[in-house]
Structure 1
Amino acid sequence: MELDDAAALRIAQQAVDRAGGNRQVHGSPRHPFSLSSTREFEIEGHPVLIRYSEVSSPAVVEVGPYVFEILPDELVKLFGP
């Protein structure tokens, strides 16, 4: 299935919800070299990677070529095709 903005956002939100929700992921910064600084899921056949925030970087979720910043109440598209 080809990803468009809406599908990528929906899949990204599902992954964030599985990881505990926006507030949990956004509000749980990790040490930069922590072994638990990422979570991986496969949703609808697409690999999804969640990177928890660190001191100098935001929490993000990657779905294919799309990257969304995880804020407490929403996901914001940073870039994509």
Structure 2
Amino acid sequence: MDETRARDLATRAIERLGGMEAVEHLFVEPHVPNPEHEFVIEDQRVMVRLRDAQRPATVYVGPYTFELRDRRLVRAAGA
């Protein structure tokens, strides 16, 4: 899988949760037990972790990790 395909799958998972703006505004309180949403899109596992006080929403697709910043998916530093 290349980064372009991973980004497409990540975008599709975000759209299933209401889109970039909606997910960027969703906030998880520390006591919420499961802040992740898992999808299977085109036989690939995509995990979306909602943002909390310390980090932005994050999407994991295969070896790629993206952060949702200013309504854009940005490759996570060090990923």
- Count matched residues: 78
Shift of 1:36: 4.0
Counterpart Cα distance in 2 of 1:17 and 1:35: 23
Q: Which runs of 5+ in 2 are unaligned?
A: none
1:22–1:71 Cα contact (<8 Å) kept: no
Quote the residue 1:52 is aligned against.
50
Amino acid at match of 1:11: L
How big is each residue's C-alpha offset from its partner over 1:18-49, in whole Å with a ceiling of 9 and x where there is no partner? Answer: 01111111111101331341111000111010
Shift of 1:72: 3.8
Q: Does 1:35 align with 2:36?
A: no
Amino acid at match of 1:58: P
Q: Say what the alpha-carbon RMSD is for the aligned residues.
A: 1.3
Q: Which runs of 5+ in 1 are unaligned?
A: none
Scaled by the length of structure 2, the TM-score of the pair is 0.89
Percent identical among aligned pairs is: 33
Quote the residue 1:20 is aligned against.
18
